């Protein structure tokens, strides 16, 4: 879960959190919830999708590894300020098939992640149905669906560019 203070948009800067020495990028598809849903069946999920966004799920990996080793939650590693860069809203109609669309990410113009949502372990309907079994999703909530292989480190001074097929791309500097 990401606090609202972790969200930033293009034109803002990803900041390495204080005392972190290992910041990782992960490109993911964000599914924007259209209306309140709870206990939604997989077959009903499409009617609750309002649109999409591209998301960078930034992770202070050193914080995460320490928390995991102690059996603690990872909220600090994934929820610090600027940990969730997001694209502009992508209307539902622009994504023809969310179950098979390419996600890609470059660091300093070098491709680091390129995959399709078809490679996801769990389908988007499964993810949203599962979450809504425990947590009521509200209009405007963003469900971040998971990252393809290739997540890795980024340092201050580097530039992250990510995209969703040829639908859109976004760029964020790291400081």
pLDDT tens track for 25-40: 999 999 999 999 999 9
Give tens-digit pLDDT for 110-147.
999 999 999 999 999 999 999 999 999 999 999 999 88
Overall domain count for the chain: 1
- The helix (run of H) or strand (run of E) holding residue 66 is helix 61-70
pLDDT mean across residues, the chain: 97
CATH no. for residue 61? 3.90.850.10
CA distance 64 to 142: 22
DSSP symbols for 84-134: EEE---EEGGG-S-TTS-EEEEEETTEEEEEEEGGG-SS-HHHHHHHHHHH
Predicted local distance difference test score (pLDDT) of residue 1: 84
Predicted local distance difference test score (pLDDT) of residue 166: 93
For residue 89, the enclosing domain spans: 4-173
Q: Is the pTM of this model over 0.85?
A: yes
Give tens-digit pLDDT for 155-173.
999 999 999 999 999 999 9
């Amino acid at each position: 879960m990401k606090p609202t203070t972790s969200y930033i948009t293009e034109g803002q800067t990803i900041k390495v959190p204080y005392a972190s020495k290992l910041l990782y990028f992960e490109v993911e598809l964000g599914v924007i919830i259209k209306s309140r849903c709870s206990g939604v069946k997989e077959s009903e999920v499409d009617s609750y999708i309002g649109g999409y966004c591209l998301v960078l799920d930034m992770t202070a990996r050193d914080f995460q590894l320490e928390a995991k080793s102690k059996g603690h939650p990872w909220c600090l590693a994934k929820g610090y300020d600027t940990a969730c860069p997001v694209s502009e809203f992508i209307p539902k109609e622009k994504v023809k098939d969310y179950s098979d669309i390419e996600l890609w990410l470059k660091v300093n113009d070098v491709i680091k992640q390129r995959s399709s949502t078809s490679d996801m372990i769990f389908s988007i309907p499964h993810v949203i149905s599962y979450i809504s079994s425990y947590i009521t999703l509200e209009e405007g909530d963003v469900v971040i669906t998971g990252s393809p292989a290739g997540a890795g480190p980024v340092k201050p001074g580097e530039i992250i560019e990510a995209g969703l097929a040829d639908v859109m791309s976004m760029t964020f500097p790291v400081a």
